[in-house]
Amino acid sequence: MKTRENNMGWLENWEKFITGNGDTMTKTDDQYIKTSGLQCPSCEAYEVTTVDRVETDDGSAWQEVNCDSCKATWQDIYKLTGYDNLEIAK
């Protein structure tokens, strides 16, 4: 019985090791921003496609992105940083 319990413990640790490895494959926000959103945060391929439509709400916006390589999907998040080309009607 004792040997069996030890084996189960080893299996649990192995699963944690696998899961932990998976987490390190995904990028942090900072790492993703450095790629200008051109690189898949999951598999690091540059074959990413952005959906044309951008959703906006109270100074922030987001856009759906798909990876053509690993089929991952995520959202690029944008923040309002200013305005330009103001035209005042006369």
Which residues sit at the interface with Zn ion, rule CB under 5 A?
Answer: 40, 42-43, 45, 67, 69-70, 72
Q: Which is nearer to Zn ion, 47 or 55 (CB)?
A: 47
Shortest CB 42 distance to Zn ion, Å: 4
Q: Which is nearer to Zn ion, 11 or 70 (CB)?
A: 70
Q: Which is nearer to Zn ion, 11 or 38 (CB)?
A: 38
Pick the closest to residue 80 from 54, 56, 44 (CA basis).
56
The DSSP annotation for 3-48 comes to HHHHHHHHHHHHHHHHHHHHHHHSPPHHHHHHTTT-S-TTT--S-E
